[in-house]
Amino acid sequence: MKPKNLIFICTDQMRFDALSATGNKVVRTENIDRIASEGITLRRHHTPNQICSPSRASMATGLYPRHHGLWRNGVTLDPDLPNLWTLLSQAGYETHAVGKLHYQPLLASSSLNMPESIAFWDRPDAQRWSGPYYGFREVELVMGEANESVKAGHYAAWLKAHHPEAVRLYEPEASANGRAADLTEVWKSAVPQELHYTSWIAGRAVDFIREASANAPFCLYVSFPDPHHPFAPPAPYSDLFDPAEMPRPNARAGELDRMPSYLQIGDDPTKDAYIGDGQAVREQGFLLRTDSISERTMATAIAHTFGMIKMIDDCVGRILDALEQAGKSGDTYILFTSDHGELLGDHGLLRKGPPPYRQLLQVPLLVRGPKIPRGAVTDELTSHIDLFATFASLLVGEKPASDGMDLTPLLTGLPGFSRDYLFAEYHPRKDAELYNQTIVSKDWRFTRYPNRGEWGELFDLASDPFEHRNLFYDDGHDTPVRDLDDVLSRHMPPRPEIPNEVLGAY
């Protein structure tokens, strides 16, 4: 039997309902929706961690962060750990990645010689490096989002070499409209869309598909840094959606009063979401409360997010068309997902951070390929930790050891898959008391804070699917709290300290 190919498409900070196939009533993601209509939509898919690097490492290794060691941004993933890319490369696959990987810290010291660190790209020979890397025989890196993307990586080197005049156009000062005063991460990028990194990633992916050997199967990992903040798409995507017509965030008056008290304080929306030299440490995700952000600015952030989603959709269309033109559609699995979600004003919060709300943990997962029924939908609980086992099974018939489950029966319409619980765990950058552990069942989401026993979160997902009323402090819910806490303790006892050195803020 001829080996099958894999195109693994990952975005950054895209929540479950970002696509028209999964509930977006504003953006028509007709290209990504093709994967859903020709394959399966997994409607209750989750990440085990709402921060970039830990989640991405879980997708690759099939392990919880406590087991793969990349427990927060700023830590590196052990390249000797088994992962999907290495397994496929060893099985004869041509493995290639383009875009954001984030297995190493951006701010690691130059002495560590890490290709995903900004310091690495100060080396005179850096531009000649392209791998191998974590099982990929060749990589083409985009590092950072918006104006951060021009500091290092293959894309930055390409832009500086071929379009140096465009580098400054990434800065908010180049925008004709400037940036919003009450949320400085909102502006219209002046970069021409054809030079933007989202377009560059799609172009490099298309080139790889066209040039891929006919004699070997391939695995192509395509990773878009957007729709991660800053909220700064280029034209025409910055103008596709009228802020005045955007849906209002899904928030309820007083709902944060029922949550752990740390949510009474958020990051400063007038600060950039990074930690510069000499700045005080800030918590992961740079979580914001939206109290001081005007409705107009918040609506613009939503409109710009939708613009970024549409730009990604157009680029996915280019990739799907190239695959079809190459005559490889029938032999290729295509997966679309995101590392984690975005609050986007829901609960009166923006960006991401410690609270494991549904908007952060639940992400899209669409899969198309051989033997997958067209237009299938499932509400079974699935996780990023399942992807290694699943595609090792589908592509090379192996069953690697992992924390996850093989989703092959679920994807192909066969019996044999069932799961009662999912788990998630957040390790903080700054405050140890924010360490939290989560269990999700079909009916409940329960979160505990082992270093602050008086904090907790309990949501009845049947009556409150968007998690507005925390029942943890209410009388009458002792039984679900006790039962879920017991299951969590059996499967994931508290482990606030992970022995892997922090090499940078992120």
CATH code for the domain in which residue 336 is found: 3.40.720.10
DSSP 108-143: --GGG--TTSTGGGGSTTGGG----BTTBSEEEE--
Burial 364-380 (b: 16+ CB within 10 A, else e): bbbbbbeebeeebebeb
Residue 148, domain extent: 5-418
In a domain, 241, yes or no: yes
353: nearest Cα among 261, 286, 255: 286
Average pLDDT rounded to a whole number, residues 474-480: 93
Q: Answer whether 343's CB lies under 8 Å from 227's CB.
A: no
In a domain, 32, yes or no: yes
Average pLDDT rounded to a whole number, residues 88-106: 97
* pLDDT value for 2: 83
The region that residue 368 occupies, defined by phi over 0 for left and psi between -120 and 50 for alpha, beta otherwise, is beta
The answer to whether the bond into 450 is cis (omega within 30° of 0) is: no
DSSP 263-308: GG----TTS-SS--TTPPP--GGG-EESTTS-HHHHHHHHHHHHHH
150 has pLDDT over 80? yes
In a domain, 326, yes or no: yes
What is the tens place of the pLDDT at every residue in 153-187?
Answer: 999 999 999 999 999 999 999 998 899 999 999 99
Q: Answer whether 142's CB lies under 8 Å from 200's CB.
A: yes
Q: Which residue has the tokens 């919060």?
A: 349
DSSP annotation of 152 reads S
What is the tens place of the pLDDT at every residue in 194-203?
Answer: 999 999 999 9
The total number of structural domains in the chain stands at 1
In a domain, 431, yes or no: no
278 has pLDDT over 80? no
Listed in order, strand segments (DSSP E) in 404-495 are 421-426, 436-441, 444-448, 456-460
Q: Answer whether 64's CB lies under 8 Å from 388's CB.
A: no
* pLDDT value for 277: 65
Distance of alpha carbon 392 from alpha carbon 27, whole angstroms: 34
Note every long-range contact of 458-465, with CB atoms under 8 Å and residues 24 or more positions apart, other chains counting: 458/484, 465/358
- pTM to 2 decimal places: 0.97
What is the tens place of the pLDDT at every residue in 221-258?
Answer: 999 999 999 999 999 999 999 999 999 999 999 999 99
In a domain, 176, yes or no: yes
In a domain, 498, yes or no: no
In a domain, 436, yes or no: no
In a domain, 426, yes or no: no
